[in-house]
Structure 1
Amino acid sequence: MRRLKFSNLLLSAPALLLAAPVAAADLNVTVQIPQLNVAEYHRPYAAVWIEREDHSVATQLAVWYAQKESKEGAGTKWLPDLRQWWRRGGRDLALPVDGVSGATRPAGQQQLKFQSGKAPLNDLPAGKYELVVEAAREVGGREVVRVPFVWPVKSMQSLAAQGQTELGAVKLDLAP
């Protein structure tokens, strides 16, 4: 039986690390929710989805809304205020949707990470798309931000768009 020398193991370790598959996300979304200086602040309801060129929904990525009903009528009651999302597929969903639905998010940067070959990207065919983020806030406004991209990606890309009121920067990082 042949023995490996410790020095041989040290030399081969970096090669093994380079040969290992990388488990990095293929599609990373960062949504900035601004802190607004208003008398009555409510966290925004928000939806994040991918649209085809004809503006039909290719896949839902996230829907953030008040998860519990309250005396103010929270919960799904106000989801139609996300007008574009609602008209393009939100009203057809049976909420909550596993892996998509979540509670409203506080001000700050919110991260979403997805890998190709896994839901919700596993059935996304090659083509031109738009990442769409829509936010609506009680006693506030509504805003939609779009970031066009091509799938699948051939090289690392960092794309961004800037909201004006209810949304800040929306960043899309793509990796092959």
Structure 2
Amino acid sequence: MRRLLPFAFCLTVAAPACAADMNLTVEIPELKVAEYHRPYVAVWIEREDHTVAANLAVWYDVRKKDGEGTKWLKDMRQWWRRTGRDQTMPIDGVSGATRPAGQHQLRFTDGKPPLGTLAPGHYEIVVEAAREVGGHETQRIAFDWPAKASTHLSAKGSAELGQINLDLNP
């Protein structure tokens, strides 16, 4: 009689192993300022040579008429120079509306867009935020892909970004 294994197991016969996953938490701090605007935020993965391996998220003002919100994307200078100016907004599965203050979860699985099939190697997650009548901040977290063990990495912003957590699971 055959025994069925729970879905948590990945059975392979000359096929790839279970897909790894990447969970990212980005905190947007609540700022006590007279004129508050939600920040534009870009999240991407860079290779060691600083080329873009994948765009993971771009949050901007999608409600402005005639795509007017896209003109401020260039305020995220690093993202704009590396990949933004070559993009046509909106980017399916990547771009969306700005987020309010709080913690925001992003979950990705190897082999599925926008992460795709990230080649093994050393990378950095880059989170960049820019706010109208506000500041600009970038945080980076280096990581190895695929993760050999469950890994928790973090960075902390000082103004436009709060706590950033990256959890990798094999």
TM-score in terms of structure 1 length: 0.86
In structure 2, C-alpha distance between the alignment counterparts of 1:64 and 1:173, rounded to whole Å? 21
Q: Which residue of 2 aligns with 1:123?
A: 117
> How far off is 1:69 after superposition?
1.7
In structure 2, C-alpha distance between the alignment counterparts of 1:51 and 1:131, rounded to whole Å? 7
Query: Aligned runs of 1:1-150 on 2, under 5 Å?
Result: 16-17=5-6, 20-21=9-10, 26-70=21-65, 74-150=68-144
Gaps of 5+ in 1: 1-11
Work out which of the two has the higher radius of gyration on C-alpha atoms and give 1 or 2: 1
Judging changes above 3 Å, is the alpha-carbon distance between structure 1 residues 86 and 19 closer, same or farther for their aligned structure 2 residues? closer
Q: Which residue of 2 aligns with 1:9?
A: none
Gaps of 5+ in 2: 11-17
Amino acid at match of 2:6: L
> How far off is 1:18 after superposition?
6.5
Aligned residues: 162
User: What secondary structure sits across from 2:61 in the alignment?
Assistant: coil
8 Å contact kept, 2:20–2:146: no
> How far off is 1:121 after superposition?
2.1
Describe the superposition over 1:34-89 as per-residue Cα deviations: whole angstroms up to 9, x where unpaired: 00000000000000000000111010000000002259x84101000000000000
Which segments of structure 1 move beyond 4 Å, counting only runs of 4 or more?
18-21
The RMSD of aligned alpha carbons is 2.1
8 Å contact kept, 1:25–1:113: no
Higher helix fraction (1 or 2): 1
In structure 2, C-alpha distance between the alignment counterparts of 1:150 and 1:25, rounded to whole Å? 12
In structure 2, C-alpha distance between the alignment counterparts of 1:103 and 1:156, rounded to whole Å? 31
TM-score in terms of structure 2 length: 0.88
Q: Which residue of 1 aligns with 2:164?
A: 170
Q: Which residue of 2 aligns with 1:151?
A: 145
In structure 2, C-alpha distance between the alignment counterparts of 1:32 and 1:24, rounded to whole Å? 26
In structure 2, C-alpha distance between the alignment counterparts of 1:103 and 1:70, rounded to whole Å? 14
In structure 2, C-alpha distance between the alignment counterparts of 1:27 and 1:146, rounded to whole Å? 15
User: What secondary structure sits across from 1:78 in the alignment?
Assistant: helix
> How far off is 1:123 after superposition?
2.7
In structure 2, C-alpha distance between the alignment counterparts of 1:31 and 1:52, rounded to whole Å? 21
Amino acid at match of 1:69: K
Identity of aligned residues (%): 63
In structure 2, C-alpha distance between the alignment counterparts of 1:51 and 1:161, rounded to whole Å? 16
